[in-house]
Amino acid sequence: MTSGKHQQCFQALLHEHRGIVFKVAGLYSRSAADREDLVQEISVQLWRSFGRYDERQAKFSTWLYRIALNVAISQLRRQRWSEADRFEPLQAHHLETVGGGEAMPEPDERLGALYAFIGQLDPLNRALILLYLEDRGYAEIAEILGISETNVATKIGRIKQKLRGQMTGAVAIGA
């Protein structure tokens, strides 16, 4: 493939799957500026790695998730934020995608509580729940994160149990 066609192919695939990049950046950033920087860094790393992408080994979205999550987690590890102000709670506007310009609808209280819960998870569990909520199968989640399907199932079960406990507690407090 010529250099120009290679770049066009990359740009088309990235445009088609750009929502993944913005979702990952939204989950692993604490401000709009951090999100923009992370989107840029993910895009650069995707381009650098694109020559090694083999569509026979993985779907583009699986490959993209793997790189985006690795970049986000690596950047998170490099930054030395204090635990108290480490993350801004995930909001619907963090999940906006480029192009459409329209914001997502305002979340209700339960959705807001879910976003807050996700924002408190450690980086691996945050990635896990993002992929689970994207309706990715356990096999694909395992492939993206480099863990076993059994580990995926166990961790998702624990996250759900913890979420149920927090949501039940929140409803009891609000009642």
The residue assigned the tokens 């914001």 is 103
Structurally, the chain folds into a number of domains equal to 1
Residues 6 or more apart whose Cβ sits within 8 Å of residue 92: 103, 104, 105, 106, 107, 111, 115
Q: What is the pLDDT of residue 80?
A: 52
- Which residue range is the domain that position 18 belongs to? 3-174
Q: How many CB atoms lie within 10 A of CB 14?
A: 18
| Per-10-residue mean pLDDT, the chain, length 175 | 83 93 89 92 95 90 93 80 47 44 51 81 90 91 93 94 79 50
Nearest to 144 by CA among 119, 127, 159: 127
pTM score: 0.67
